[in-house]
Amino acid sequence: MSDQSADVFGLLGKPVLVVGGGSGIGRATALLLGQVGANVAVADLDQDRAQQVAEEVAALGVKAVGLAGNVTERSGARQVVDDAHRQLGGLFGVVNIVGEASWSDLLNMDDETWEKDVRSNLTHHLYVGQAAARHMIDDGVAGRLALVTSISGIFGAPNHAAYGAAKAGATALARTMANEWGDYGIRVNSVAPDIIATPRVVAGFESRGVTDMNQIAIDDGVPLARWGKPEEIAGPLVFLISDLAGFMTGQNLVVDGGTQSRFPHFGAKPFKNQNE
């Protein structure tokens, strides 16, 4: 860990759990937490991935442990949170990145797709949040939670409606958590990214022959004309659990390269004077 003259983030030596930390945004978040001095539990479905990232974080000079578990099941979520609490000696913050989209139009969407996306993008936030809040309340810790939502939960979500509905639900759930747990000093916020160039997303496009990811953003009229990077979501997530966001709770930060600001009718193209 680099020498720090001041603990600006208020996370020095604090125990933080990153759920879904084995790759992409989760890995970037775990590494950034290590850089600002937090002790980190990296949880993932794959123990090897979790351990590999934990070793990268530990190389920064902080304590880090790798954990495995399926947080889409209540028992798995509780086990991951309990293991992090035990191995780190407490729990000050939780960042939950887990999420995955299925693709189907509404007329053909079946129960399995709907239920899978709700469980993968909404239900686990309840399980992880409950387990973490109980520890924080029992320990008298004014903890912090940060959830990953999506702009698909703000706009309509054509051909991935279940994902969009679940992400909208996660945003509402975070606000309710913030309301109910505020009396204990627990803050709960979320981050809504647009499309981010994680290894899994890039591989999915490359398998369909798409190699220039930024061209998609340009064609879609994204103001910054590129996809986001995992590190650019890690920053807002770490900010939200830091002291810098000490009076923020129940908020959903949109991190989308300007997508939400784009005027829809003419996009990024210049308007031609009709009198010419």
Residues 18 and 43: beta-carbon distance below 8 Å = yes
Q: Find all residues with CB under 8 Å of 71, minimum gap 6, and list them.
A: 19, 43, 77, 80, 96, 98, 124, 127, 128
Taking the CA atoms of residue 192, residue 196, residue 201 and residue 206 in that order, the dihedral angle to the nearest 10 degrees is: 150
Q: Which residue, among 148, 162, 116, 158, has the nearest Cα to 228 in the 3D structure?
A: 148
Supply the DSSP string of 143-190, one letter for each residue: -EEEEE--GGGTS--TTBHHHHHHHHHHHHHHHHHHHHHGGGT-EEEE
* Catalytic residue status for 163: yes
| β-sheet bridge partners, residue 41 | 17, 65
SS3 264: coil
Q: What is the largest CA-CA distance in the chain?
A: 71
Q: Which residue, among 110, 194, 184, 126, has the nearest Cα to 154 in the 3D structure?
A: 194
16 conformational bin, left if phi > 0, alpha if psi -120 to 50, beta if neither: beta
CA 45, CA 65: separation in Å to the nearest integer?
14
Catalytic one among 9, 163, 181, 239? 163
What residue has token string 């997530």?
237
Residues identified as active-site: 163
